[in-house]
Amino acid sequence: MSNILLFTEHLTMQFGGVVAVDDLNIKIPTGEITALIGPNGAGKTTAFNVITGGYQPTNGRVTFDGEVIAENCPRAKMKRIYNGSYKEPYTHTVVNKPDMITRLGMARTFQNIRLFKDLSVFENVLIAKHCHIKAGLLGATFRLNRAEEKEMAADAHDLLERVGLWESRNEKASSLPYGKQRRLEIARALATGPRLLLLDEPAAGMNPKETEELSQFIVEIKDSFALTIFLIEHHMNLVMDISDSIYVLDYGKTIAWGTPFEVQNNEAVIRAYLGVDEQ
C-alpha cells in the first residue's frame, strides 16, 4: 500500500440513532483524483469532516501517509445503541484536531465558501501560510521573525501568480466574482502546503462555463503542485471528466466504486440517482 496516501477502514459516524457514514473503506492513491459522489444526504460531507478532524469517528480508523490520524470505537451510551454495520470495535483512540491534520499535509475547502471577506485576496492567502509559522508569540510580538514573514509574503505572491489571482491581490475577497472566490478558497488551501487536497462541491453554484474552467483548474493544480485530490461533487460531467476513480455513497453506505465508466454504468448507482419503476 506504499502508493496509498489516505485510506479509511470501517469508518463509521453515528449521531444518536442515525448512522450517517456506515463502514466506509476508501483508498486514495497518491497523485490521483478520487471522487466521492451520491445523492443529497448520503454522508459525503460527514465523511470529509471525520477525515479532516471535524468529527471523531464512532468506529473505525483513518490513516494518512502511513500514520493513523483518527481511530475510535463505540463508548458509553453509544456502545449500547451502536447501529453500524461493522460490529468489531477498534481498541485505540487517536484524536487529531483540524489544525494538526492541516500541518500533516491535508487541506480542504467547503460547500459554502469560507473566506475572510473583508480582507484582501493577498491577506487571505497570507493568513493560511501562518499555519506553518516557526516564530513563537514573543518573536511575533517584537517582530523578530521579519525574515520568515518576508518569505511567507513572497510565497503568497508566487502562489497567487500561479493560480491567476495576482492582479486581484488588493481586492476584497467579497468583491470577487463567484468563480474567483472559489479559486481563492482553493488557493488559500494550497497555501498550507498540502499533499492531499479535499474539495467539497467546488462547482456548487457555478454556471457551465465556470464549471468547465474549474475542471481545467483542478487538473492544472494537481500537476503543478504534485497533489492528490479527493473530491465531492454533484456535477457529473466534471466528475467523469477528471476523476481516476469514484466511490458512490447512498444512505451512508458504499454502493459502488471503480472507474468513471464502471460507475456510470452501475445499476445500483443508476437506481440511487434516478430511482426505479416499481412495475
Question: What pLDDT score was predicted for residue 272?
Answer: 83
The answer to whether 195 touches 106, Cβ cutoff 8 Å, is yes
What are the residue ranges in the chain where pLDDT is below 50?
137-139, 142, 278-279
pLDDT at 151: 85
pLDDT of residue 145: 64
Q: Is residue 186 exposed (0-12), middle (13-18) or buried (19+ Cβ within 10 Å)?
A: buried
Asked if residue 59 lies in contact with residue 74, where contact means CB atoms within 8 angstroms, the answer is yes
What's the half-sphere exposure (Cβ side, CA atoms, 13 Å) at 192? 23
- Reference 229, options 15, 29, 26; nearest CA is 29
Q: Which domains does the chain have, with CATH numbers?
A: 1-105+195-279 (3.40.50.300), 109-193 (3.40.50.300)
The structure's pTM equals 0.90
- At a CB cut-off of 8 Å and minimum separation 6, what does 237 contact? 211
Residue labelled with grid coordinates 487529531: 96
- Residue 135: its pLDDT value, please? 54
Tell me what pLDDT residue 121 has.
96
Write down the pLDDT at residue 1: 52
- Quote the pLDDT of residue 149: 82
